[in-house]
Amino acid sequence: MTDATRAEVALPEGWVSRQVIYDGTQLRLEYTGPALGAAPRVLVAFAPFDYPFQADDGGWGSRSFTKRGMAHVCVFHRNEDWHQHDEFFTAMQACRAFFGPTPDLTAYGFSMGGYGALLGAKALDARRAIAVSPQSSIDPSAVRFERRYGEQWARMDGWHHDLRAHMDSARRYIVMFDPLHGQDKKHEARLPKPAGYARVLLHGAGHAGIQTIVGMGQSQALFDLLRGDLSARALRHAYRSGRRDGFRYLRKLGTLLHEKNKPAARKFLEIAQEKGFHRLIKKWTPFYK
């Protein structure tokens, strides 16, 4: 999750900050939250591929989680490798061992981190995994449609983990993606679908699902989902209710409707004019000449 500010966030009273609970060759896990045993729920956050291993800000999403009083573990990865190494599962098991049989854990991540959340949930014995715009693989022999991560693939030694062996019906999976985004849609279609699997369709978000939700003013709904206080269906409703305020949504859907000369396109132009989205007004006005 991209934090809106780099300002320091005060720790709640009695919290520990960035306690290292696993430190290995490939991964480092840091816990921020109340003293061990005091948190009934903990979020385990997996960063996208380009998040730095040596980060000064406490990890991907840490400021946002701390600000909202959410205990969390940040998973730092040394290499942009989609966790294709055996140490990954050792680290996940060490995380669960650190906490013991309680609290409830939720695995959460975006893009490569979304894949990590799906891959790691079983080893974490997490109750839920929430993945935003995850890949199913970046192996070009398996996903010929995926052309974004060739540089990363060239540095890897192959694809070693099959999600079918690591996703089961003992936990819930929530996958959030834009069905209008060609690559992400194809990745989602390849994911295993155990009994607890649910989709949240983010039409018009592109790959940037989290940014789009926040831009719509629906960040509270997202954090409520992460806490376990909101259902996948309810988040979908929140997304739909915020569409008029979402620039990315309006740009994607409005442009598609204009290019296909659909009558509903004019409504999108009217919303852009109402919101003062001058880039969209300039982009769509030629369709009416």
Instruction: For 76-99, write each residue's pLDDT tens digit.
Output: 999 999 999 999 999 999 999 999
Instruction: For 18-31, write each residue's pLDDT tens digit.
Output: 999 999 999 999 99
- Predicted pLDDT at 42: 98
Secondary structure E strands in 63-168: 72-77, 104-110, 128-132
- Predicted pLDDT at 57: 76
SS3 220: helix
Q: Among residues 181, 154, 163, which one has the least CA distance to residue 123?
A: 163
Are the CB atoms for 159 and 211 separated by under 8 Å?
Answer: no
- Name every residue whose Cβ is closer than 8 Å to that of residue 8 and which is 6 or more positions away in sequence: none
Phi, psi torsion values for 10, nearest 5 degrees: -70, 135
- Predicted pLDDT at 4: 40
**C-alpha distances out from residue 260 to 41, 254, 255, 265, 274, Å:** 47, 10, 9, 9, 23
Sheet holding 197-201, edge to edge: 15-23, 27-34, 72-77, 41-46, 104-110, 128-132, 172-177, 197-201
* Superfamily of the domain at 15-243: Alpha/Beta hydrolase fold, catalytic domain (3.40.50.1820)
Mean pLDDT along residues 210-221:
95
Q: What is the mean pLDDT of the chain?
A: 94
Instruction: For 154-208, write each residue's pLDDT tens digit.
Output: 999 999 999 999 999 999 999 999 999 999 999 999 999 999 999 999 999 999 9
- Predicted pLDDT at 8: 72
- Predicted pLDDT at 5: 40
Q: Where are the domain boundaries for CATH 3.40.50.1820 in the chain?
A: 15-243
Mean pLDDT along residues 22-42:
95
Give yes or no for residue 144 having a pLDDT over 60.
Answer: yes
pLDDT confidence tier of residue 244, bands split at 50, 70 and 90: confident
pLDDT confidence tier of residue 45, bands split at 50, 70 and 90: very high
- Predicted pLDDT at 37: 86
Give yes or no for residue 142 having a pLDDT over 70.
Answer: yes
| pTM across the whole model | 0.92
- Predicted pLDDT at 258: 96
Give yes or no for residue 2 having a pLDDT over 50.
Answer: no
Decide which of 148 and 7 is more confident. Answer: 148
Q: Would you tell me the crossing angle of helices 219-227 and 232-241 to the nearest 10 degrees?
A: 180
Instruction: For 53-80, write each residue's pLDDT tens digit.
Output: 887 778 999 999 999 999 999 999 999 9
**How far is it, in rounded angstroms, from Cα 226 to Cα 106?**
7
